Amino acid sequence: MTAARKPYVRLDESLLTDLPPFSKLSAREIREILDQASSRRYDEGVTVFEEGFDAGRFFLLLDGYVRVVRITPEGEQVIALHIPTGQLFGIAKALGHDTYPATAITAAESIVLSWPMHLWDDFVARYDGFATETYKTVGTRMKDMNNRVVEMATQQVEQRIACAILRLINQTGRKVDGGIEIDFPITRQDLSEMTGTTLHTVSRMLSAWEKQGLVSSARKRITVLKAHELVLLTGARG
């Protein structure tokens, strides 16, 4: 596992005030939580934890993006989901696991807080809203992953790729001139791993969409220029 950089010190309570798991807490309670946290900055492409390893810590993504990856029985890498800024991850305890069920890799330069996993039950018991908001997040992620299973089973490749891009701009998109850009580096290989198809197919599809003026892509950046037309490609109506 690649080591992260030097920890930060004395983080301000305002960093957590507006984040759902901590939004109902007082400044004093947030201070208690922060005083037990470690803070690290990770470069892009660094492994935060690996699938199958003992789940010794849980994490909060303070800034950046994290890619959650699973390995199939055949040894293929599949991107299960992306974690945006402000969310907890590596919460194996909430899922009833003693080991991490997936690998987390930074998709951009990121700042991450973490706590020893033995504090999880204490946080759930002591801090109002921590458990309810966290389990809401778990529920949302499970729903998203179930939707992707349905997409893989029922949709054509073009629909799956369109759904994946739209999902990313809904989660992490930022407005730029002419469209909405996925706000972290993403490659065509990443899209192939998200949609269960080949790199060649993703490249061919994106090239066709670029010619139609639906998207633009360059240097690990994808911008959606005509979101409504991409929605129509998914088979959705309206």
CATH 2.60.120.10 residue ranges for the chain: 14-141
CA dihedral 132, 135, 137, 140 (to 10 degrees): -120
Residue 192 and residue 216: Cα distance in Å, rounded?
17
- The pLDDT assigned to 9 comes to 55
What count of other Cβ atoms lies within 10 Å of the Cβ of residue 94? 16
- The pLDDT assigned to 158 comes to 92
- The pLDDT assigned to 205 comes to 94
Residue 39 and residue 238: Cα distance in Å, rounded?
44
- The pLDDT assigned to 212 comes to 94
Which parts of the chain register pLDDT below 50? 1-8, 238
Using the structure block, give the residue that is written with the tokens 């892009």: 44
Let me know: does 68 contact 83? Beta carbons within 8 Å.
yes
Fold of 155-233: Arc Repressor Mutant, subunit A (1.10.10)
- The pLDDT assigned to 52 comes to 94
Sheet of strand 103-106, all strands in order from the earlier edge strand to the far edge: 47-49, 103-106, 66-71, 77-83
Residue 96 and residue 79: Cα distance in Å, rounded?
22
- The pLDDT assigned to 10 comes to 67
- The pLDDT assigned to 120 comes to 94
Report pLDDT digits (tens) over 5-25: 444 456 788 888 888 889 888
Q: What architecture is domain 14-141?
A: Sandwich (2.60)
- The pLDDT assigned to 181 comes to 93
CATH 1.10.10.10 residue ranges for the chain: 155-233
- The pLDDT assigned to 4 comes to 45
Question: Encoding tokens for residue 34?
Answer: 């922060």
54 burial via Cβ count (<10 Å: 0-12, 13-18, 19+)? exposed
Paired strand residues for 180: 175, 224
- The pLDDT assigned to 236 comes to 63
